[in-house]
């Protein structure tokens, strides 16, 4: 849900980086863009999903990117699954937002509710168009998620399942703020700052969901984030991963901003 609150949180995280790290990140983002305007996945192929994160980083950092080339390529894109369809819609909105002066960008710019009735169920995560993650990608705050809610307030990825999912819980908390869910999610944080899964994605989305609902994390995450930071200005998924990428860099900035 790439609304202004999400972007402001990432921007706050970017502001915590040193001037040198900010400059390196800007250069890395600019150089990553392909001639067709897309941004590459970890294999070097242009990808709509990674393009969303590349544009997000360009918006946050002020990196110079070819917006017109990107817009031309996106004009002809027609992905067949929810993740890439939502990435396309949010990328187009980011391109519009990037045309505005920075003073105007602070004005409300809500993410639209996305509806893709033409997509089959198989095109949605877990094959379920009403799961917490699917609803989060579509910015659907109207759907009742109680069928995915466990007795302790956490949420599952699957209807009627007994095991919680960190991403599902974070998505549900963003869509439907709830004190019980927030407390249960906060209780999952480990002393090293990470959340179950131990990676930057799980940790960042959990911290952001808590931040969005006005709850503070129990433990400091700075050591973990430092371990994920790379000389390219990018963040890796885990400290043991030698390479950073665009997606996890957004998560790194999100985590930094959510704990500022």
Digit-coded pLDDT (tens) for 137-194: 998 999 999 999 999 999 999 998 999 999 999 999 999 999 999 999 999 999 999 9
Higher per-residue pLDDT: 1 or 20: 20
Q: What percent of the chain has pLDDT over 70?
A: 95
For 206-235, b/e burial (b = at least 16 CB within 10 A) is bbbbbbbbebebeeebeebbeebbbebbbb
Is the confidence at residue 246, as pLDDT, over 90? yes
The rounded distance, in Å, linking the Cα atoms of 107 and 149 is 34
pLDDT value for 104: 63
Average pLDDT, whole number, for the chain? 93
Is the confidence at residue 1, as pLDDT, over 80? no
Q: What is the pLDDT of residues 39-78, one digit of tens each?
A: 999 899 999 999 999 999 999 999 999 999 999 999 999 9
Looking up tokens 């930057």 gives 200
Q: Give residues with Cβ within 8 angstroms of 144, minimum separation 6.
A: none
The rounded distance, in Å, linking the Cα atoms of 159 and 175 is 17
pLDDT value for 20: 97
96, 114, 113: which is closest to 105 by C-alpha?
96
Is the confidence at residue 81, as pLDDT, over 80? yes
Q: pLDDT band for 99, please (50, 70, 90 cuts).
A: confident
pLDDT value for 176: 96
Q: How far is CA 171 from CA 135, 140, 166, 205, 251, in A?
A: 8, 11, 9, 8, 14
């Amino acid at each position: 849900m790439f609304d202004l609150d999400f972007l402001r949180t990432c921007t706050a995280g970017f502001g915590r980086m040193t001037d040198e790290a900010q400059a390196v990140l800007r250069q890395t983002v600019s150089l990553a863009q392909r001639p067709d305007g897309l941004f590459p996945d970890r294999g070097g192929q242009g990808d709509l999903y990674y393009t969303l994160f590349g544009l997000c980083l360009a918006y946050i950092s002020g990196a110079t990117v070819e917006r017109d080339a990107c817009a031309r390529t996106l004009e002809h894109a027609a992905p067949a699954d929810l993740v890439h369809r939502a990435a396309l819609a949010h990328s187009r909105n980011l391109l519009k937002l990037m045309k505005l002066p920075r003073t105007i960008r602070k004005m409300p710019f809500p993410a639209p509710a996305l509806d893709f009735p033409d997509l089959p169920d198989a095109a949605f995560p877990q094959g379920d168009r009403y799961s917490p993650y699917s609803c989060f990608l579509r910015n659907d705050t109207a759907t009742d998620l109680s069928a995915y809610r466990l007795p302790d307030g956490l949420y599952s990825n699957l209807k009627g399942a007994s095991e919680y999912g960190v991403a599902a819980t974070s998505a549900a908390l963003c869509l439907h703020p709830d004190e019980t869910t927030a407390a249960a999610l906060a209780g999952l944080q480990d002393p090293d700052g990470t959340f179950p899964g131990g990676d930057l994605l799980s940790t960042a989305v959990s911290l952001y969901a808590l931040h969005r609902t006005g709850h503070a994390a129990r433990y400091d995450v700075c050591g973990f984030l430092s371990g994920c930071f790379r000389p390219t200005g990018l963040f890796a998924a885990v400290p043991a991963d030698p390479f950073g990428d665009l997606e996890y860099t957004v998560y790194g900035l999100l985590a930094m901003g959510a704990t500022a």
